[in-house]
Chains A and B, each alone.
Chain A
């Protein structure tokens, strides 16, 4: 495992421990994400789901931490690897799955696909398929919030390899210069498609880069849901107080291939095995039970709830109608008259 992998502990008792309902909500989000993710991969492998789908396996604890901290007033910009982020922000799994299947009930009427989810009603503002491109857009949202008088945070998530692209640096510079209420969350799963982090970054501690922009930064164990939650909370509160941006590096590991059906035999087995030991949902489950914060029965009930929720969402998606072919010409512009005259 690369030098930066943090200790092999499970979830620590970092900071104060939230109320049981928050902990259970975090666990539910992790399990739902894992189950929906696994099922999407199965469906893609079986050829029933014809979508380039990007699993979030390994990042569930970061997503759960986001869900525990963010309110609908906070805005989130995410990437193509967005299932957990979307759920954290309150997007329904039904509308996510319908979008994956290209159906009319999807978040984008089936016209966006898995890389273009959104639900502005819950503050899930945009997802992009261009690596790193969400950061400048989040800067604009944060500026809008600052001009509106502040009070909410704009959060943007991105992968570790996105820190190589120019848009990342431009956005960090703008955010620091204008003291914007934004939190940059690097979901460092240590892989950029087929390339391990050490082969594209001269220093694998990405949080260190924030000092170049005089921006507070923290590096947390992204498998540790509570530590991550506390770090996000501190950063989000800083933004809500209008005290400027924060860079957070959440170190996890990608537990699957880059995309749903991709081969990932190139990932060293020992690294993957060690990371699997820390698989977020089961880790959190054991911790909750061991610490006596909940019971095995309660966990089973939450598991069954999550299974039913996921089953329902897939059924809903499969039964949702395909968009009418006329949809091709709507939403290119506000008014589709000219588009129809051109074809």
Chain B
């Protein structure tokens, strides 16, 4: 694992608490950081409680609850960046980003380029991707839309420590960042997280488990699923290497390619729709670079091609069983 600075004190936290800690540390150090979003100030502290306590500590000037107006939330963040501030815009659910897509992809992502470098807009857009508990308009993994837009970093942590380190990196980045948190990871898993300043460079994947037979590439909510699949594979005598990408832009192709060069087999797993999903790009790159080394074609296990269904009887998400059988096909 690569980290720039690690504070020595740690505490056991959920991802939500870890993100709160990242914001708290950054806001204490830099009074140019402003949070914007619906219901983020007290008493609510954000519907997912990520900004709990921060408006009491830093004031409602800096932790601003806004009207329900996603275009204005992100547009205001862009304008704040032009005015020398660093805004963190919270979009309650990832699906709602469709409402402010213009400000994210046409303004935040392109301002540096369109002005020949003169007006960078280093904002962070934080959002949550849901479980299917709220139905199809609160659940879709849309990261590929943003990977397809040059100019914006796309970040998706899988653990509390990464949630803190990667959010801190977004706040320090010179470029706009889309930071996607998965609802299933935000409250359940707890681990030791540095309490002080802690940042993980964007663009460095994390090798979670070494293995010699196959490389499993994943990120975000599929990390625990893939880790479980790796356990099952180990019981069958197959040693899987598990890579958590952590950021999709910049994507750490070096770590992926050097792993696959050794294992000569790869499966890419993600919760985004498999068709035209992030796995397509990663798979293609592996084939282009390592065609002669591969024992079998790279496989993908993404979500099925449907909106996310509500009923628990229906699910297109990758599962441990799908991942295991995909690997077995390669062996």
* A interacts with B: yes
Residues of A within 8 A of B (CB): 75, 77, 106-112, 116, 118, 120, 125-126, 128, 130, 133, 135-145, 147-148, 166-167, 170-171, 173-174, 177, 327, 330-335, 338-339, 341-342
- B5, CB-defined interface residue at 8 Å: no
Binds A, one of B70-78, B190-198, B263-271, B305-313: B70-78
- Tell me which residues from 88 to 125 in chain B have a Cβ below 8 Å from any Cβ of chain A: 102-103, 106-107, 111-120
Q: In the complex, what distance in Å separates the CA atom of A109 from the CA atom of B114?
A: 9
In the complex the two chains form, is B114's CB within 8 Å of A139's CB? Answer: no
- What distance in Å separates the Cβ of A281 from its nearest Cβ neighbour in chain B? 30
Interfacial residues of chain B within 250-272, with CB under 8 A of chain A in the complex: 250-251, 253
Counting CB contacts under 8 A, is B156 at the interface? no
15 A-B pairs with C-beta separation under 8 A: A106-B116, A110-B116, A111-B114, A120-B119, A133-B107, A137-B107, A142-B79, A147-B85, A174-B76, A330-B117, A333-B151, A333-B153, A334-B173, A335-B174, A338-B250
Known: A133-B102, A333-B175. A143 touches B116 (CB 8 A): no
CB atoms of B114 and A144 under 8 A apart: no
Task: Let me know if B69 and A170 touch, CB within 8 A.
Answer: yes
Contact B113 A332 (CB under 8 A): yes
The interface residues of chain B lying within 8 Å CB-to-CB of A167 are 71-72, 75, 102-103
| Structural contact, A138 and B120, CB atoms closer than 8 A | no
Tell yes or no: B167 within 8 A of A by CB. Answer: no
**B326 sits at the interface (CB 8 A):** no
A-chain residues with CB within 8 Å of residue B75 when the two chains form the complex:
133, 135-137, 139-140, 167, 170-171
Q: Please list the 5 inter-chain residue pairs (A to B) with the smallest Cβ-Cβ separation, ordered nearest first.
A: A140-B79, A136-B75, A144-B83, A109-B116, A170-B72
A171 CA / B173 CA spacing, docked (Å): 27
Let me know if B84 is at the binding interface, CB within 8 A.
yes
Chain A nearest Cβ from B125, distance in angstroms = 13
Give bound CA distance, A41 to B61, whole Å: 47
User: Which of B67, B79, B107 is within 8 Å of A173, CB to CB?
Assistant: B67
A107 in contact with B82 given A167-B75, A170-B71 (CB within 8 Å): no
Assess whether B203 is in contact with A108, with CB atoms less than 8 Å apart: no
A-B contacts at CB below 8 angstroms, number: 148
In the assembled complex, the Cα of A195 lies from the Cα of B66 at a distance in Å of 34
A186 to B79, CA, bound (A): 19
- Give the docked Cα–Cα distance between A51 and B196 (Å): 52
Q: Is the CB of A173 within 8 A of B106?
A: no
Whether a CB of chain A sits under 8 angstroms from the CB of B80 is yes
Complex contact B67–A177 (CB within 8 A): yes
Q: B83–A136 contact, CB under 8 A?
A: no
- A133, A171, A174, A334: the one within 8 Å of B112 (CB): A334
The contact of A118 among B34, B74, B115, B175, by CB within 8 Å, is B115
Chain A residue with the shortest CB-CB distance to B176: A333
Cα(A148)–Cα(B83), bound, Å: 9
Cβ distance B35 to chain A, nearest Cβ, rounded Å: 12
Measured between C-beta atoms, what is the minimum distance from A138 to chain B in Å?
Answer: 6
B118 & A118 in contact (Cβ 8 Å cutoff): yes
Q: Is B186 interfacial (CB-CB < 8 Å)?
A: no
Q: Which of B67, B69, B115 contacts A108 (CB 8 A)?
A: B115
Given A135, A144, A177, A334, which contacts B82 in the complex, CB threshold below 8 Å?
Answer: A144
Cα–Cα, bound, A280→B113 (Å): 35
A130 touches B115 (CB 8 A): no
Q: B119, A118: Cβ atoms under 8 Å?
A: yes
Contact B79 A331 (CB under 8 A): no
Closest chain B residue to A106, Cβ basis: B116
Enumerate chain B residues within 8 angstroms of A108, measured Cβ to Cβ: 114-116, 118
What B residues does A143 contact at CB under 8 A? 34, 76, 79-80, 83
Q: Which of B61, B74, B151 contacts A136 (CB 8 A)?
A: B74
- Whether B81 is near chain A, meaning CB under 8 Å from some CB there, is yes
Residue contact A173 to B119, C-beta cutoff 8 Å:
no
Complex: chain B residue closest to A323, CB-CB: B116
B150 touches A339 (CB 8 A): yes
Nearest CB on B from A163, distance (A): 15
Q: Output the nearest chain B residue to A137 by Cβ-Cβ distance.
A: B79
With A133-B102, A167-B71, A174-B72: A140-B83 Cβ-Cβ less than 8 Å: yes
Residue in contact with B150 in the complex, picked from A133, A141, A332, A335, CB distance below 8 Å: A332
Residues of B near A126 (CB, < 8 A) are: 82, 111, 115, 119
> Distance in Å from the Cβ of B114 to the closest Cβ of chain A?
4
A204 to B8, CA, bound (A): 64
Residues in A whose Cβ lies below 8 Å from that of B76: 136-137, 139-140, 143, 174
- Closest chain A residue, CB of each to CB of B31: A147
Q: A136 with B67: in contact, given A118-B119, A171-B72 (CB under 8 Å)? A: no
